[in-house]
Structure 1
Amino acid sequence: MGKKHSLVLDKDFEEIIPEFLIKRKSDIVMIRKALEDGDFSLIESLGHKLKGTCGSYGFMELSELGKKIEESAKIKKEANILKSIEKIENYIANVEIKFE
């Protein structure tokens, strides 16, 4: 069991957040596959997408992890990428979202 994360988001996001989180899980699957294939260019692109998308929805911690993935892919640091995606998986599994 990971650390609980609390987040307050605008109530306008309430209906779209479940799908948003499902898509982030899909991003992790794609990053893991790209790691298997040694496709750091794709990982860099996916990290960049995570950074922007997560930030736009108010998930600043996930946005920062996306940035770390992007930067790690540029220098082909597989261990750092794996650490970041594990943190994302933990965050998604333990986030408690309140809508106001």
Structure 2
Amino acid sequence: MQVSANSKFNEKVFVEDFLAEHIPKFIASKKEEQQKLLEALKRQDFAFIKKIGHNWKGVCSSYGFRYLSDLGAQIELLAEQQKAEELEPLISSVNGYLDNAQIVVLSESEMDEYLKNQ
């Protein structure tokens, strides 16, 4: 799946209320990882990039950040293929996405209803 951060700026991210207090730390950790990914890309450390992409693929959707999960899968694949020129714009777009994502906190019942309609 090809993903583009430009189309995801201002995306609504739906988070269940019990996770809401953890979202600022989650966002900060992803921004730190984005910097580490850019540094790894300069070193052509594709194994590290692949590992972080794999982690994002598995973790980010649990926090409501489905786009980052999809992006993680794409980063993992491109790192495996060592496609630095395709990785750079994806990795570089992460901060903009995170800065503009609109966090919507839902109760458990509201989240259940939201998920039924997806």
TM-score, length of structure 2 as denominator length = 0.78
Q: Which 5+ residue runs of structure 2 have no aligned equivalent? A: 1-5, 107-118
Aligned residue in 2 for 1:84: 90
Aligned residue in 2 for 1:67: 73
Structure with the greater alpha carbon radius of gyration: 2
Offset of residue 86 of structure 1: 2.7
Question: Alignment RMSD, CA only?
Answer: 1.2
Rounded Cα–Cα distance in structure 2 between residues aligned with 1:53 and 1:82: 21
Rounded Cα–Cα distance in structure 2 between residues aligned with 1:82 and 1:55: 22
Q: Which 5+ residue runs of structure 1 have no aligned equivalent? A: none
Rounded Cα–Cα distance in structure 1 between residues aligned with 2:21 and 2:39: 29
Alignment map for 1:39-58 (pairs within 5 Å): 39-58=45-64
Q: What letter is aligned with 2:87?
A: I
Q: What letter is aligned with 1:63?
A: S
Aligned residue pairs total 99
Identity of aligned residues (%): 31
State which drifts further: 39-48 or 49-58: 49-58
TM-score, length of structure 1 as denominator length = 0.92
Corresponding position: 1:37 with 2:39? no
Aligned residue in 1 for 2:115: none
